[in-house]
Amino acid sequence: NGLDKEIADLEKKKAAKDKDIASLQSKIVSTQKSINKNTSQGSLNSKRRQIASCESDIAKKSKDSADLGKKKETLRCILETSKRTAE
């Protein structure tokens, strides 16, 4: 069925977004752990920019993931309705 395929495609895209988010979160933690009392001001500023960039990317990907989830649920409802109507 076309809807089943579309739902599976959305699930795959959402999983990829979620994986990207996890990777970015790991990158933030790694960057934070690399900061210590000996970190120079220039390096600290650079690390803060990296963290801010990752946080921005996470926000975008989280929104995309949520949007994909909503689309998937909408299609599931349509699919269930069409199955009940066909019975």
Can you spell out the DSSP letters for 32-84? HHT--TT--HHHHHHHHHHHHHHHHHHHHHHHHHHHHHHHHHHHHHHHHHHHH
Q: Residue 21 — very low, low, confident or very high, per pLDDT cuts 50/70/90?
A: very high
Give dist(CA 6, CA 68) in Å, integer: 11
> Which has more pLDDT, 1 or 70?
70
Task: Report the 10 Å Cβ neighbour count for 21.
Answer: 19
Q: What average pLDDT does the segment 8-18 reach? A: 97
- Using the predicted structure, report yes or no on whether residue 1 has a pLDDT greater than 80: no
Segment 51-87, tens digit of pLDDT? 999 999 999 999 999 999 999 999 999 989 988 887 7
- Using the predicted structure, report yes or no on whether residue 34 has a pLDDT greater than 80: yes
Give dist(CA 75, CA 81) in Å, integer: 10
